Amino acid sequence: MNKEDLLKMIREDDLNLLSIKPKTSSAITTDERLVSSFREINKFIKENNREPEPGKGVQEHQLATRLKSIRGDKKKIEGVIALDEYGLLGDEQKEIVSIGDILNDDDMGLLNITDDSLFKIKNVPEIKIDRESSEYIAHRKVCAEFEKYENLFRECQTDLLSGKRKLIKFTSDQQIKENSFFVLNGILLFIEKIGETHIDKYGKIDGRQRCIFENGTESDMLFRSLVKRLYENGHAISERSEDTERKFIENFSNISNEDKKTGFIYILKSLSNDPKIQSLKNLYKIGFSNIPVEERIKNSSEEPTYLMAPVSIVSTFECYNFNPQKLEQLLHNFFGSACVNIDIFDKKNQRHMPREWFSAPLPVIEKSIELIISGGIVNYKYDVENELIALR
């Protein structure tokens, strides 16, 4: 075959049979895997509003491990820093290209100056910065005595996992108290001490507090700066459930003749003719009323909370010196596993689901109230399977 025949064959190759392309690999490169992993981490944070944590399921544990691996490798950080939507790779990795970037990245409130006189230059030598003088700026530094706080952070994490503490929405500066925990920008924060406070020119409380962070650092952040940061990207952490119950019981037990009656806790039994309701074993309603119970239940057959039927009073307990709804909530938490789901329709055929009916033996319910009065309830839980009160 001569040269002309070969060229003719190539020209007439309508199916591109002679077109040779370089080989491509279907294998994912290391860089592609890194990018894919980091995008999965971003997706998790977007859906759960928090970083993945180890020990919380296989997939979440893997994401937490990957994030830790990326943070410990500068080359990996460089490969995904452009995808860092949530500031996961540290402030030192963020590119600062404008004054706006500096202001937006001010997590510690160092630039939070409410006095705009700083920007009104009248006489240069007379310029003063009252709120953030150079010797009084809140820097986050290494906590030299961090070992004193390590167990506190471990216990807080354990309580969160077990449900004894909960992440709650930050809604008020009144939530900031000594010995309280918060999450700020994904890092656990402990308020060790609140210093001397004052009222600023806007009529709000301000001052310094010593904040210990889970990563071993501390800061004397301004009160107002901390409030602002928590509103922007933070959560409060509730007290331990046992502590809340203990405080409640301490207040409840201290009753004298001069104390004021604030209401009644009651136990009711349904007199409904509905076979479904009659078939429920040990069905009792635990509730609260600030008026005599007889008065409260006189229209029970008209109210869904009473199952649209008459009820009988089994027991009543007078309450003094406290918010009785808290006692009611404590009982509901104690018997939560025994709560009965009942669908009730009112006279307008609207559906209701009363949440104060429980399936538990009457002696057990009455004993739980006695334990609340004596203060012993914090040591017990309700065993729904065996229908008895058991030690925690």
What are the DSSP calls for 276-317, one per residue? HHHTSTTEEEEEEESS-HHHHTTTGGG-GGGTTS-EEEEEEE
Task: State the pLDDT at residue 259.
Answer: 56
Number of H helices, E strands in the chain: 12, 15
- Comparing CA positions, the residue from 157, 110, 143 lying closest to residue 213 is 143
Task: Give pLDDT, residue 371.
Answer: 78
CB 173 within 8 A of CB 230: no
Which token pair is 364? 């057990």
For residue 87, what pLDDT is reported?
84
Closest-CA residue to 115 (of 226, 197, 201)? 201
Per residue of the chain (392 residues), give pLDDT as tens: 665 766 666 666 666 655 555 554 444 566 788 888 888 999 988 888 889 888 777 778 888 888 988 888 888 888 888 888 888 886 444 444 443 444 444 444 444 444 444 434 344 443 333 433 333 445 678 888 898 898 899 888 888 888 888 888 888 777 888 888 999 888 899 998 888 878 877 777 788 889 999 988 998 888 888 888 898 888 888 887 666 555 555 554 454 455 566 788 899 999 999 999 999 989 999 888 888 899 999 999 999 999 999 999 998 887 766 566 677 777 778 888 898 888 899 888 999 888 889 999 998 988 887 777 666 777 788 888 888 888 87
**Is there a contact between 261 and 207 (Cβ–Cβ < 8 Å)?**
no
Q: Which residues pair with 235 in a beta bridge?
A: 169, 183
If one counts every other C-beta atom within 10 angstroms of the C-beta of residue 234, the result is 19
Residue-level pLDDT at 144: 86
User: Nearest 5 degrees, angle CA 165-CA 169-CA 175?
Assistant: 75
At residue 138, the pLDDT reads 52
d(CA 359, CA 337): 9
Q: Give the C-alpha separation, 311 to 22, whole Å.
A: 84
| Strand order through the sheet with 311-320 | 311-320, 261-270, 283-289, 357-359
Phi, psi (5° rounding) for residue 144? -65, -25
Q: What is the pLDDT of residue 324?
A: 62
CA 10 to chain centre: 70
- pTM for this predicted structure: 0.38
User: Considering only CA atoms, which of 222, 228, 224, 199 is closest in space to residue 210?
Assistant: 222
φ and ψ at residue 314, rounded to 5 degrees: -95, -50
Specify the pLDDT at position 29. Answer: 67
Please state the φ and ψ torsions of residue 368, each to the nearest 5 degrees: -65, -35
Helix (H, G, I), strand (E, B) or coil at 262: strand
| Strand bridging mode 261-270 / 283-289 | antiparallel
Angle at 90 between CA 85 and CA 92, to 5 degrees: 115
Report H helices in the chain.
3-11, 30-48, 58-71, 74-80, 99-104, 147-162, 223-233, 241-253, 275-278, 293-296, 324-334, 362-374
- List 289's β-bridge partners, or say none: 264
N- to C-terminal Cα distance for the chain? 93
What tokens appear for 105 in the block?
A: 């990245």
Which tokens belong to 166?
């909960």
Is-contact 354 342, C-beta < 8 A?
Answer: yes
pLDDT at 322: 56
